[in-house]
Chains A and B, each alone.
Chain A
Amino acid sequence: MSSETKQILTTDGIPLEISLKKAERKNKIKAFLLVAPLLLFLIITYIFPIGEMFTRSIDDKMITNMLPKTFKSMETWDGKELPSEEVFASFLSDFKILVEKKEHGKLAQRLNKEKNGFNTITKKLFRQVKRNKIDETQSIKEQIMKVHKRWRNVEYWQAIKRTAPPYTSAKYLKAMDMYLNEDNKITQVSEDRRIHRILWLRTVEVAFFVTVFCFLMGYPIAHLLATLPMKYSNLLMICVLLPFWTSLLVRTASWMILLQQQGVVNDFFVLIGLVSDDNRPEMMYNKVGTYVAMTQILLPFMVLPLYSVMKTISPSLMRAGKSLGGTPFVAFWKVYFPLTIPGIGAGCLLVFILAIGYYITPALVGGASGTLISNQIAYHMKTTLDWSFASAMGLMLLGGVLVIYWLYNKLVGVDNIKLG
Chain B
Amino acid sequence: MKKLSKLLLALSFALSITSSAFAVTVASWGGAYTESQKLGYGDPTAQALGVDINWVDYSGGLSEIKAQKEAGAITWDIIDVFAFDTINGCDEGIFVEFDFDKDFPAAPDGTPASEDFFAPMPSKCAVGNILYSWNYAYNVNNVDGTPSTIKDFFNTKKFPGKRAIYKSALTNLEIALAGDGVYMGKGGSEIYKLLETEAGVNRAMNKIKELCTDPNGGCVFWSAGAQPPELLVSGEVVMATGWNGRFFNAEIGEGAPIKQVWDGQGLDYEYFALVKGGPDEANAKKALAMMTNTEMLAGSAKYIAYAPYRLSSLEIIKANEPWYKDGKTEMMPQMPTAPSNTKKYFLVDPFFWADNGTELGEKWEAMKAGL
Q: Give the B-binding residues of A (Cβ under 8 A).
A: 44, 48, 51-52, 55, 102, 105-106, 108-109, 112-113, 116-120, 192-195, 198-199, 202, 257, 260-263, 285, 363-364, 367-371, 379, 381-387
Contacts and interface: CB of A to CB of B under 8 A. Distances in A.
Contacts of A44: 8
Contacts of A261: 162, 236
A263 B234 contact: yes
Contacts of B167: 363, 370-371
A371 B61 contact: no
30 contacts: A48-B1, A48-B5, A48-B8, A51-B1, A52-B5, A105-B90, A108-B91, A109-B91, A116-B357, A119-B87, A120-B351, A192-B366, A192-B367, A193-B362, A193-B363, A198-B366, A257-B234, A260-B234, A260-B236, A262-B236, A263-B234, A367-B219, A367-B221, A369-B369, A370-B167, A371-B368, A381-B63, A383-B61, A383-B357, A387-B63
B148 interface: no
Given A44-B8, A368-B371, A370-B167, 11 more contacts: A106-B92, A109-B92, A112-B354, A112-B355, A116-B357, A117-B356, A118-B355, A193-B366, A262-B234, A367-B219, A387-B63
Contacts of A116: 355-360
Contacts of B87: 119
Interface in B323-363: 351, 354-363
B30 interface: no
Contacts of A379: 361
Chain A residues touching B, majority SS: helix
A199 B368 CA distance: 11
Contacts of B366: 192-195, 198
A239 B239 CA distance: 38
Contacts of A262: 234-236
Contacts of A198: 365-366, 369
A106 B361 contact: no
B219 A368 contact: yes
Contacts of B371: 368
Contact of A368 (B8, B60, B212, B354): B212
B66 interface: yes
B4 interface: yes
Nearest to A194: B366
Nearest to B4: A48
Contacts of B8: 44, 48
B365 A199 contact: yes
The DSSP consensus for interface residues of chain B is: helix
Contacts of A260: 234, 236
B120 interface: no
Contacts of B48: none
Contacts of B351: 119-120
Interface of B: 1, 4-5, 8, 59-63, 66, 84, 87-88, 90-93, 162, 167, 212, 219-221, 223-224, 234-236, 351, 354-363, 365-369, 371
A195 B362 contact: yes
Nearest to A366: B221
B160 to A, nearest CB: 11
B351 to A, nearest CB: 6
Contacts of A192: 363, 366-367
Nearest to B205: A192
A216 B174 CA distance: 46
A225 to B, nearest CB: 35
A333 to B, nearest CB: 41
Contacts of B363: 192-193
Contacts of A55: 1
Q: Which of A55, A371, A383, A385 has the most CB of B within 10 A?
A: A383
Contacts of A120: 351, 354-355
A320 to B, nearest CB: 54
B93 A382 contact: no
Contact of A105 (B92, B220, B224): B92
Contacts of A193: 359, 362-363, 366
Contact of A285 (B66, B220, B224): B220
Contact of B91 (A106, A202, A381, A382): A106
A192 B92 CA distance: 31
A399 to B, nearest CB: 21
B91, B162, B356, B358 pick with most chain A CB within 10 angstroms:
B91
B357 A382 contact: no
Nearest to A371: B365
B63 A113 contact: no
